[in-house]
Amino acid sequence: MRKAWILSILFLMILLAFAAEAQQPKKVPRIGYLSARDPPRESTRAEAIRQGLRERGYIEGKNIAMENRYAEGKQDRLPELTAELVRYTETWDEARKRMVDTQLISRDIRDMRLIDAMHKVPRHRFVPPAERLHAYIDSPLPIGYSQTISQPYIVAYMTQALEVRPTHRVLEIGTGSGYQAAVLAELAHQVYTIEIVAPLAQRARETLASLGYRNIHVRTGNGYLGWEEHAPYDRILVTAAPEEVPPALVQQLKVGGLMAIPVGRFSQELKILRRTPDGMETLRTVPVRFVPMTGDPSQDAK
């Protein structure tokens, strides 16, 4: 009899513990990063809400935090659902600030004009929709046509090494998504950028125009030959790796000007070079891995 009484007490205590736990508000994580190297992870609850919005015909806006409004012709719980989603997500601005703080400032990026530019330029606008939730992680991302958008730190490192000033005219080889050109355009007077893959050049041109950039000029052509019409350049930045520094780029760089270029096929080095009256001086090198530079020095740019 006593044993049955004790078991009843224990069973009642277990029931009470479960009831108390059920009444506790569940903590749902925001979209975020565990570290600079981890991809953003959306909470199960937030994804369920997002899926519910999709099923109701809602089209997601440019910000992760969706607008609080009704879908067309629907009078249901959309305001509550969108408001709840906003609580459990990180805005693009917050994600970009996290990127700058954890990936750039925490390393060796010290140029305040560059830091302001990285805070400003919306990296998520330069990646395909399928990659947008990953736009601010510490990694390159695919943009199609076997090309990538560079890791944010590499973009910042190369740009800082060039010491870009507001009066400078900059040549970029390898437009890709257009993100690097946008960062340069925040710092320089004019940016001339060449992309050999025509669909990428057109996409970058449209993205940059939609963001209001008027000092970036995009050309489809062979980067090995540079863009002679606007030479000489104060700075040249190359985002794909040739096996050696193209002679045309050396000729189009001002004496005293700086170039950042990855060089090599299997073993690559990022070289920071200065043109002198006698040739090119290597200031420093860093081991890197870039996509190979395509094109042929013997072909004319279009």
- C-alpha dist (Å) from residue 160 to 36, 75, 118, 157, 250: 20, 52, 11, 5, 20
Element (H, E) at 173: strand 169-173
CA angle 193, 198, 201 (to 5 degrees): 35
- Compute the distance between CA of residue 23 and CA of residue 165 in angstroms, rounded to an integer: 59
Q: Tokens 């479960």 identify what position?
A: 18
Residues 6+ apart with CB under 8 A from 3: none
Taken as a whole, the chain contains a residue count of 302
Rounded CA gap, 278 and 166, in Å? 27
Q: Which residues participate in catalysis according to the annotation?
A: 150
The Cα–Cα gap between 218 and 194 comes to 6
First to last CA, the chain: 96
